[in-house]
C-alpha cells in the first residue's frame, strides 16, 4: 500500500538498510486497544498511530457498534480532534478524525465531525446531548508531542469499560483489510451523512455550564485578575467563552502558549501536573499584570492545575487533592445554599477514585450526603455517575488526584473548561470575604479534619521485577501472608485489588472490581494512614499514593506532615526496596 508516501518512505528506507531491529519495532506487535482506547507514537507500522492503524481500528469499532446497536444508522457517532500533528509521518489528529469519519460514512452511519479543534469533554457532551451511540476523540492529552491517541465513549456518555475494550479489540483483529475507498476522505465532504456539531455545541455547552453559576453579580464586579494558559493546546478560546458565560472579565492569556502548536515549544512536557516548570511563563505574566491566580489546562483541556500567589510573594501550586477539596466544598455549599434542586440530601452523591484523597468522605460524613470511591480512572467515575443519575440521584462532583474534575453533570468525564471557570467564581466569591484559596483550604481542613497526601513513583522497565516485588508483598512472612508492619508502622488492614482480597470485609472479599492484569495493593495503618501501591497502565512505573487523615480538631499540621514523611520513607525502604530491585526514582 503506497497510500501514505511518508510512512511508505520510512519503511522503504529501513528495508534498504536491512534494519531488522527497527522493522521489528514498527511491525512486531499491534498497538493494544484497551479501555483508554489507543495511545502511541505517530509513525509507520502497526505499533504506531498512522492512517492504516486508524482505518483498521475504526473498521473494528464500526463492526462492534453495528453488533450492539440496531439503530446505529439512525443515531450515529461523534468525532472530535485536538491540534496534534507529526510532520515526518504525515499523521495529525485532524487527518485521523477525517479517516475515521470516512470509515463510518462508508457504512451508512451518520457522523457528527467537529470542523475544528475542541476540548476532549465536548465529545462526551455531544454523545449525551444528541443521544448518539458512541464518541471518538483523537488526542494524546498531555503526552509528549510525538504521541497521539484514540479515546472512545459509549452511548451513556462515559468512557468505555470492560468488556467493550475486548470486544472492540477482537473486531479490529477481524477487520484489518482496508475497505474500498478507505483512504479517500474527500468523499465525506459531499455526503449527506456528515454533520458539523461545532456551532450547536459551542452554544449549548456554555448554556449548560451556567447552571453551575451562582454568583453572577459578584463575577461582574470582582477585581480579581486571572492568568490562563492552554499550554499550546486547544483550551484558549473555550475558557475565554466560559468566563464570558459566567460574566467574568476574560483571563489574561499567556501569549506564547495560547495558540495551538503541535511542537509544544516552550515546555519540556506539556503536562501541568509537572507543576512549576510548565507554569514559568504564567508566573511571569501574572507578575506583570498583577494577577493572583493562574489557571492551566493540559493540551486537550480536560484537566486543570491552579496556582495562587501567597502573602509571602511565593506561588503555591495546588495539588489535585487540594483543588478537589476546595471544589468539593464549594460545589456542596452552592448546592446547599442556592440550588433549586428539591432532592433530599440523602440523594446527593460525590465520587473520587480510590487513590485520591478521602476528604470528600469526611465532608460527606459530616454533612449527610453520600460519598463513593471507584477504581482509578475517570471511566469508572463516569459510568458510576450515570448509574446513580439513572436512579434519580444527584451526582454533584467527582475528582481524581491527577488534576481531573467533573463539576457539571452534562459531561460524564473530567472537564478542565468548566472546572476553570467554577474555580474562578469560587475565588471571586472568597475575595469578597477577604479569603484566598489557600486560606479557604485551611478552613476546609479545620472543619473536616486535615488530609495530607504524598504521591510519587519509581521507574522499572523489567516486568519480572515488578511481579516479584508484588509477589513478595503477598508472601511477606511465609506463604500467603501480607506484611503486619512497615518499619515502625503497624498495618491494620489490607485490600488487594489484583487478587480480590480485603481483610476489612466480613467475607474477606473486596467490593470494588478486581483486575488480575494490573497490580494494586492498599495498606491501612493503625495511625490513620493509608498507602496504595499500583502499576501504571500506560507507563513503566510503580506508583504510590499515601494519605494521613486526622479527625477535626487536630491542628498540628507540621507533626502530621512529619509522620506522613516517615511513613513514606518506611514504605519505600521496606516495600519497594529500590536498591535491591534497581528501581529508578522520580526525578524532580
Q: Which residues contact 266 (CB under 8 A, 6 or more apart)?
A: 232, 256, 257, 281
Distance CA 533, CA 535 (A): 7
Distance CA 153, CA 204 (A): 20
Distance CA 344, CA 131 (A): 28
Q: Is 314 helix (H, G, I), strand (E, B) or coil?
A: coil
C-alpha cell at 437: 484559596
Burial of residue 345, with CB atoms counted within 10 A of its CB: 0-12 exposed, 13-18 middle, 19 or more buried: middle
Element holding 420 (H helix, E strand): helix 416-432
Phi, psi at residue 211, to the nearest 5°? Answer: -65, -20
How far is CA 540 from its chain centroid? 18
Q: Are 514 and 502 in contact (CB under 8 A)?
A: no
Q: Is 296 helix (H, G, I), strand (E, B) or coil?
A: strand
Q: Are 222 and 281 in contact (CB under 8 A)?
A: no
Distance CA 279, CA 295 (A): 9
Q: How far apart are the first and last CA of the chain?
A: 45
Distance CA 382, CA 405 (A): 11
Distance CA 39, CA 148 (A): 6
CA pseudo-torsion sign 42, 534, 511, 403: negative
Catalytic residue, candidates 93, 141, 230, 352: 141
Phi, psi at residue 404, to the nearest 5°? Answer: -110, 130
For Cα atoms 14, 11, 49, give the angle at the middle one, nearest 5 degrees.
130
Is 357 tagged catalytic? Answer: no
Q: Which residues are part of the catalytic machinery? A: 141
Amino acid at each position: 500500500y503506497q497510500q501514505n508516501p511518508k510512512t511508505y518512505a520510512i519503511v522503504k528506507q529501513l528495508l534498504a538498510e536491512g534494519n531488522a531491529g527497527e522493522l521489528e519495532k514498527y511491525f512486531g506487535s499491534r498497538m493494544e486497544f484497551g479501555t483508554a482506547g489507543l495511545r502511541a507514537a505517530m509513525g509507520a507500522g502497526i505499533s504506531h498511530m498512522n492512517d492504516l492503524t486508524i482505518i483498521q481500528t475504526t473498521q473494528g469499532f464500526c463492526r462492534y457498534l453495528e453488533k450492539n446497536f440496531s439503530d446505529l444508522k439512525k443515531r450515529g457517532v461523534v468525532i472530535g480532534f485536538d491540534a496534534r500533528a507529526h510532520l515526518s509521518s504525515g499523521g495529525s489528529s485532524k487527518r485521523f478524525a477525517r479517516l475515521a469519519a470516512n470509515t463510518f460514512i462508508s457504512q451508512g452511519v451518520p457522523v457528527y465531525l467537529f470542523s475544528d479543534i475542541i476540548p476532549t469533554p465536548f465529545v462526551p457532551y455531544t454523545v449525551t446531548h444528541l443521544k448518539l451511540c458512541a464518541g471518538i476523540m483523537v488526542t494524546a492529552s498531555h503526552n509528549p508531542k510525538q504521541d497521539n491517541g484514540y479515546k472512545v465513549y459509549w452511548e451513556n456518555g462515559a468512557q468505555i469499560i470492560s468488556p467493550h475494550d475486548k470486544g472492540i479489540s477482537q473486531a479490529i483483529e477481524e477487520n484489518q483489510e482496508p475497505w474500498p475507498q478507505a483512504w479517500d476522505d474527500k468523499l465525506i465532504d459531499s455526503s449527506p451523512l456528515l454533520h458539523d456539531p461545532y456551532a450547536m455545541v459551542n452554544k449549548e455547552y456554555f448554556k449548560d455550564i451556567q447552571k453551575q453559576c451562582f454568583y453572577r453579580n459578584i463575577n461582574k464586579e470582582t477585581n480579581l485578575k486571572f492568568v490562563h494558559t492552554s499550554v499550546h493546546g486547544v483550551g484558549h478560546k473555550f475558557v475565554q467563552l466560559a468566563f464570558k458565560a459566567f460574566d467574568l472579565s476574560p483571563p489574561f492569556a499567556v501569549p506564547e502558549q495560547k495558540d495551538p502548536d503541535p511542537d509544544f515549544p516552550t515546555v519540556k512536557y506539556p503536562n501541568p501536573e509537572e507543576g512549576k516548570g510548565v507554569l514559568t511563563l504564567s508566573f511571569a505574566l501574572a507578575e506583570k499584570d498583577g494577577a493572583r491566580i493562574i489557571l492551566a489546562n493540559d493540551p486537550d483541556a480536560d484537566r486543570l492545575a491552579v496556582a495562587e500567589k501567597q502573602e509571602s510573594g511565593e506561588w503555591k501550586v495546588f495539588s489535585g487533592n487540594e483543588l478537589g477539596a476546595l471544589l468539593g466544598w464549594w460545589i456542596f455549599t452552592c448546592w446547599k445554599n442556592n440550588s433549586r434542586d428539591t432532592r433530599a440530601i440523602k440523594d446527593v452523591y460525590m465520587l473520587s477514585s480510590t487513590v485520591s484523597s478521602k476528604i470528600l468522605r469526611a465532608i460527606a460524613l459530616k454533612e449527610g450526603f453520600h460519598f463513593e470511591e471507584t477504581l482509578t480512572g475517570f471511566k469508572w467515575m463516569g459510568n458510576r455517575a450515570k448509574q446513580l443519575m439513572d436512579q434519580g440521584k444527584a451526582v454533584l462532583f467527582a475528582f481524581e488526584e491527577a488534576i481531573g474534575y467533573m463539576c457539571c453533570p452534562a459531561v460524564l468525564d473530567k472537564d478542565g473548561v468548566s472546572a476553570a471557570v467554577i474555580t474562578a467564581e469560587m475565588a471571586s466569591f472568597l475575595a469578597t470575604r477577604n479569603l484566598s484559596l489557600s486560606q479557604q483550604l485551611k478552613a476546609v481542613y479545620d472543619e473536616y479534619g486535615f488530609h495530607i497526601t504524598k504521591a510519587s513513583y519509581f521507574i522499572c522497565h523489567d516486568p519480572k521485577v515488578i511481579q516479584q516485588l508484588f509477589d513478595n508483598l503477598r508472601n511477606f512472612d511465609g506463604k500467603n501472608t501480607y506484611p503486619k508492619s512497615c518499619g515502625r508502622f503497624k498495618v491494620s488492614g489490607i485490600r488487594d485489588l489484583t487478587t480480590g482480597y480485603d481483610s476489612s470485609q466480613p467475607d474477606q472479599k473486596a467490593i470494588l472490581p478486581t483486575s488480575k492484569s494490573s497490580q494494586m495493593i492498599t495498606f491501612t495503618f493503625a495511625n490513620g494512614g493509608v498507602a496504595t501501591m499500583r502499576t501504571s497502565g500506560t507507563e513503566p512505573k510503580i506508583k504510590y499514593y499515601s494519605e494521613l487523615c486526622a479527625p477535626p480538631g487536630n491542628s498540628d499540621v507540621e507533626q502530621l506532615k512529619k509522620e506522613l514523611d516517615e511513613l513514606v520513607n518506611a514504605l519505600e525502604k521496606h516495600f519497594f526496596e529500590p536498591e535491591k530491585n534497581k528501581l529508578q526514582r522520580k526525578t524532580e
